[in-house]
Amino acid sequence: MNLDAKVPGGPLEDKWDRHKKDLRLVSPANKRKFDVIIVGSGLAGASAAASLAELGYNVSCFCFQDSPRRAHSIAAQGGINAAKNYQNDGDSSWRLFHDTIKGGDFRAREGNVYRLAQVSANIIDQCVAQGVPFAREYGGLLANRSFGGAQVSRTFYARGQTGQQLLIGAYQALERQIGKGTVTMYSRHEMLELVVVNGRARGIVARDLVTGEMQSFAAHTVVLGTGGYGNAFYLSTNAKGCNVTAAYRAYKKGAGFANPCFTQIHPTCIPVAGDFQSKLTLMSESLRNDGRVWVPKRAGDTRKPADIPEAERDYYLERKYPSYGNLAPRDIASRAAKEACDDGLGVGPGGRGVFLDFSSAIKRLGEDTIRERYGNLFEMYERITDENPYQTPMRIYPAVHYTMGGLWVDYNLMSNLPGLHVIGEANFSDHGANRLGASALMQGLADGYFILPYTIGDYLAGAKLEAVDTSHQAFRDAETEANARLGKLLAIDGTRSVDSFHKELGHILWEKCGMARDRAGLQEALARIPALRAEFWENVKVPGSAETLNQSLEKAGRVADFLEFGELMCSDALIREESCGGHFRTEYQTEDGEALRDDDRFAHAAVWEYQGENQTPVRHIEPLTFEFVKLATRSYK
């Protein structure tokens, strides 16, 4: 497997500019002769589709929802980072770069991360020009706030609906191109196979989710912007449709899957209420700007929070991490909450919760200011829990939120499979082992607006691509394969529902490969998952047919992929004998319980290569070298 990252040499600040100079161009007259398939219409996919169509390429865009506007990106609440230094608090591309590398526990590529920090400023400009109504100060200038893991105010936001507004900006740019006929949109279409011809990605097979028809689409290059796989855990903050299918099928066709064990757990979610629970709701991390996290000092203290005096409360984040306090990064805040609950100090039903308390902020700033800042989040919390957070502290608990692993890509965002580009959360990204808040939106839009439009031209200008259309045998084979899989799922006619398998898998992954992992647990998971998968293929019940809108069948296909992918996650976690970011192996920690990295053995991205059905995949590595920052222990104390 060729893992040449293609990061240009030379000074960090000049890499991207120099690279842009070297990238080959496609002449305007030739651009429309190139067909580009983009799977996904989230921030990454929609921004890429709109930008490439503006350049003149012939674009087809796919999503499984009924409209591109409903992609999971719509749900992001808190904000997007950019190194604008509008607040004059000392921010710079360098500082954003440094925070991101450090926040990711030194498991990201320097060159990529610096570029991300550099283009972040353009993203805000682009979005403002599109009409994204970012929060403003009374003077008319853009407002900022801070987010976990940063000591500067560099987060831009649109109330608690930042993802929605950014996506609507990109969606509108996309719709504009659809209106002009330069993008053909296929909504309610699910990609089920990647088609490879002569070693290059040349198309996809997708199912029309309304008619059930299997269709082939050929192109010169394929872009995946299909999001993350957090739903492998069943309960997560992800939208219900989020899945790993597209990335996993590409993996099976030869694309390397990098760092599958890196999952981000978000510290501020509404705790689980019962067995029927279908998803977990995130409360934006921005709440930690004003909310203080605490638990009672005494285990089993069932008094109302207001009746617990100050002296009997443990503001554990402020105590343990005085310089960041409640704004400690996500992995640290999550683990600290779990520890408090494991020690029996948790609050609420089942003791799986900690308080997020706004009473001192309300005293200091007044209820109106708090309402102005977080009103819609408070409302959402009340709607779900029936408790009023203006009067009593919120209860929060960590939940699976984001996945840093994904298909491996080089500096040009191309996987090791030529012609397959991967953007946004679907690639293994620039976040390392842990993603800081407000940086996924930034990365999705950086990839789609400002990086891919340059690098894809280089690929198309340089590759000698023969004419391929959907009559090619590779498409027939891929369609046959996809149809056979659906047929098989429908034919099993067992007794257990798809959801019951998904829940069981999710339970294994959360317990054994969640916030904390150890060797024995991972080995147990690696024994239980194949058994569960075997039962799935013998006993799942999928009603209906493949010729209609069949939501059970859609779910079954996604869960089938999760059942294979879950094993890859655990294998990856087992081999990585260190703790870093969202990957915490309990065997590897310092005396005071902090993550213990092993840079000598693991300063690399682990990239898995598929070897065929029931074969153990091969683990390759891309060594990570740190030329510009010093590898240091991450400390937020």
> Alpha carbon 271 to chain centroid distance?
21
Dist CA 44 CA 203 (whole Å) = 19
Dist CA 320 CA 297 (whole Å) = 14
Which listed option, other proteins, ligand FAD, none, makes contact with residue 63 (CB within 5 to 8 Å by class)?
ligand FAD
Which of 151, 470, 552, 589 is the binder for other proteins (CB under 8 A)? Answer: 552
Q: Which stretch binds other proteins (CB under 8 A): 95-103, 134-142, 468-476, 526-534?
A: 134-142
Which listed option, other proteins, ligand FAD, none, makes contact with residue 438 (CB within 5 to 8 Å by class)?
ligand FAD
Q: Which is nearer to other proteins, 537 or 625 (CB)?
A: 537
Residue in 439, 541, 537 with CA at minimum distance from that of residue 496:
541
Cβ 607 to ligand FAD shortest distance, Å:
19
CA dihedral 367, 373, 375, 378 (to 10 degrees): -90
Q: Which is nearer to other proteins, 247 or 377 (CB)?
A: 377
Q: Which stretch binds other proteins (CB under 8 A): 47-55, 106-114, 399-407, 479-487?
A: 47-55
Q: Which is nearer to other proteins, 49 or 570 (CB)?
A: 49
Reduced to 3 states, what is the DSSP secondary structure of residue 221?
strand
The answer to whether 498 and 556 have CB atoms below 8 angstroms apart is: yes
Which of 299, 549, 618, 632 is the binder for other proteins (CB under 8 A)? Answer: 549
* List 70, 154, 249, 330, catalytic entry: 330
Which listed option, other proteins, ligand FAD, none, makes contact with residue 383 (CB within 5 to 8 Å by class)?
other proteins
What does the block give as tokens for 230? 């957090």
Q: Which is nearer to ligand FAD, 191 or 293 (CB)?
A: 191
Residue 128 engages other proteins in binding (rule: CB under 8 A): yes
Q: Left (φ > 0), alpha (ψ -120 to 50) or beta: where does 35 sit?
A: beta
The answer to whether 102 and 632 have CB atoms below 8 angstroms apart is: yes
Residue 349 φ/ψ, nearest 5 degrees: -55, 130
Residue in 470, 413, 477, 415 with CA at minimum distance from that of residue 446:
413
Catalytic site includes residue 298? no
What does the block give as tokens for 325? 């306090």
> Alpha carbon 248 to chain centroid distance?
15
Which listed option, ligand FAD, other proteins, none, makes contact with residue 225 (CB within 5 to 8 Å by class)?
ligand FAD
Q: Which stretch binds other proteins (CB under 8 A): 12-20, 294-302, 541-549, 599-607?
A: 541-549
What does the block give as tokens for 292? 């203080």
Dist CA 93 CA 108 (whole Å) = 16
Cβ 297 to other proteins shortest distance, Å:
29
Cβ 23 to ligand FAD shortest distance, Å:
23
Q: Which stretch binds other proteins (CB under 8 A): 128-136, 296-304, 339-347, 628-636?
A: 128-136
Reduced to 3 states, what is the DSSP secondary structure of residue 378?
helix
Which of 124, 261, 404, 525 is the binder for other proteins (CB under 8 A)? Answer: 124
Q: Is 417 exposed, middle or buried (0-12, 13-18, 19+ CB in 10 A)?
A: buried
Residues that bind ligand FAD (CB under 6 A): 39-45, 62-65, 71-73, 75-80, 162-163, 190-191, 225-228, 237-238, 242-243, 245-246, 282, 401-402, 424-426, 437-441, 444
Cβ 52 to ligand FAD shortest distance, Å:
15
**Amino acid, single-letter form, for residue 246:** A
Dist CA 109 CA 430 (whole Å) = 7
Dist CA 489 CA 478 (whole Å) = 17
* Binding to other proteins, residues 587-616 (CB under 8 A): none
- Close Cβ partners of 26 (under 8 Å, ≥ 6 residues apart): 34, 457, 460, 461
Residue 492 φ/ψ, nearest 5 degrees: -60, -45
Which of 551, 590, 633, 635 is the binder for other proteins (CB under 8 A)? Answer: 551
Reduced to 3 states, what is the DSSP secondary structure of residue 225?
coil
Which listed option, ligand FAD, other proteins, none, makes contact with residue 419 (CB within 5 to 8 Å by class)?
none
Binding-site string for other proteins from residue 50 to residue 89, where x marks contact by CB under 8 A and - marks none: xx--x----------xxxxxx-x-xx--------x-x---
Cβ 332 to other proteins shortest distance, Å:
25
Cβ 73 to ligand FAD shortest distance, Å:
3
Which listed option, ligand FAD, other proteins, none, makes contact with residue 432 (CB within 5 to 8 Å by class)?
none
Which listed option, ligand FAD, other proteins, none, makes contact with residue 79 (CB within 5 to 8 Å by class)?
ligand FAD
In 381-448, where do the E strands start and end? 394-403, 406-407, 420-422
Which of 4, 22, 307, 386 is the binder for other proteins (CB under 8 A)? Answer: 386
Q: Which is nearer to other proteins, 540 or 569 (CB)?
A: 540
Q: Which is nearer to other proteins, 181 or 623 (CB)?
A: 181
CA distance between the termini of the chain: 41
Which listed option, other proteins, ligand FAD, none, makes contact with residue 273 (CB within 5 to 8 Å by class)?
other proteins
* Binding to other proteins, residues 232-271 (CB under 8 A): 239-241
Number of residues that bind other proteins (CB under 8 A): 80
The answer to whether 505 and 230 have CB atoms below 8 angstroms apart is: no
Dist CA 452 CA 177 (whole Å) = 17
Dist CA 404 CA 406 (whole Å) = 7
Cβ 598 to other proteins shortest distance, Å:
38
Residue 400 φ/ψ, nearest 5 degrees: -60, 135
Cβ 71 to ligand FAD shortest distance, Å:
3
Q: Which residues are catalytic?
A: 330
